Amino acid sequence: MTAINDYIDSEVKSQDVVLFMKGTPGFPQCGFSGQVVQILDYLGVDYKGVNVLTSAELRQGIKDYSSWPTIPQLYVKGEFVGGCDIIREMFQAGELQSFFEDKGIAAKAA
Amino acid sequence: MTIQSGIEAKLREAFAPERLEVINESHLHAGHHHADGGEHANFDGTGETHFRVRIVSEAFADKSRLERHRAVNAVLEGELAPGRVHALAIDAAAPGEPTRW
């Protein structure tokens, strides 16, 4: 395990819901990251945003961590759930809401 | 060969899709840039940086969303290398599933 991998691993497990994104939840710097922020905010779940633009090493490291070539990436209880398209499809199908419920994560808007 | 036609050819070969659209959405991202400059410092919207893939294939039947995306990403690994295609949106369905395109 490299240092960046250890760091990502600890970030992923630091909270129930962690979003690796470009920019911050308050100021997304990419439309795809912004869509996931909007969905999570709409559902009212607590989450931590990790801005990958702060470090090139982190930006590459998160792609290697889950063998997933794009950002954003959403993790729930340490498990990789998907990128923007998958989260949006799950949300539109009503599956994201039940996924959070199954994981015991409170969605305030539900 | 353009990146777009290369993506189309690879997807046709890998998935024998019933339906396939590869859309260059780079123009939608003109002026979009990243402060870090690690990838493209700036997009003028004329290049081949942002794509959307819409695909219906039997190969996706009984596969989860993650598995479908991983399968497409694996086929397009070369295109997704740093400095080439910056963003790839994927709508992947199996025949008979609802699509919106």
> B27 in contact with A at a CB cutoff of 8 Å?
no
Q: What is the mean pLDDT of each run of 10 residues along chain B (101 residues)?
A: 95 98 90 54 78 98 98 96 90 95 91
Q: Beta strands B50-56 and B19-24: pairing type?
A: antiparallel
Instruction: Measure A108 CA to nearest chain B CA, in Å.
Output: 26
| pLDDT at position B93 | 97
pLDDT band at A30 (very low <50, low <70, confident <90, very high): very high
Q: Rounded to an integer, what distance in angstroms lies between the CA atom of residue B77 and that of residue B75?
A: 6
Report yes or no: A106 and A45 within 8 Å, Cβ to Cβ: yes
Task: Single out the residue of A87, A89, A93 nearest to residue A45, CA to CA.
Answer: A87
- Closest residue, chain A, to B86 (C-alpha): A70
Give tens-digit pLDDT for A46-89: 999 999 999 999 999 999 999 999 999 999 999 999 999 999 99
Region of A67 please: left (phi>0), alpha (psi -120 to 50) or beta. Answer: left
**CB contact (8 A) between residue B35 and residue A29:** yes
| pLDDT at position B9 | 98
| pLDDT at position B33 | 62
**CB contact (8 A) between residue A29 and residue B65:** no
Could you give all domains of chain A from N- to C-terminal order, each with its CATH number? 3-102 (3.40.30.10)
Between the alpha carbon of residue A85 and those of residues A54, A71, A81, B38, B91, the distances in Å are 24, 11, 11, 24, 7
**Taking the domain B3-93, which CATH number applies?**
3.30.300.90
Quick one: B82 exposed, middle or buried, by C-beta within 10 A (0-12, 13-18, 19+)?
A: middle
User: Average pLDDT, stretch A31-56?
Assistant: 97
Task: Single out the residue of B51, B49, B70 nearest to residue B59, CA to CA.
Answer: B70
| pLDDT at position A91 | 97
- Closest residue, chain A, to B35 (C-alpha): A53
Q: Which of A60, A69, A80 shows the shortest C-beta gap to B73?
A: A69
Note the pTM of the prediction, 2 decimals: 0.90
Instruction: Measure B88 CA to nearest chain A CA, in Å.
Output: 8
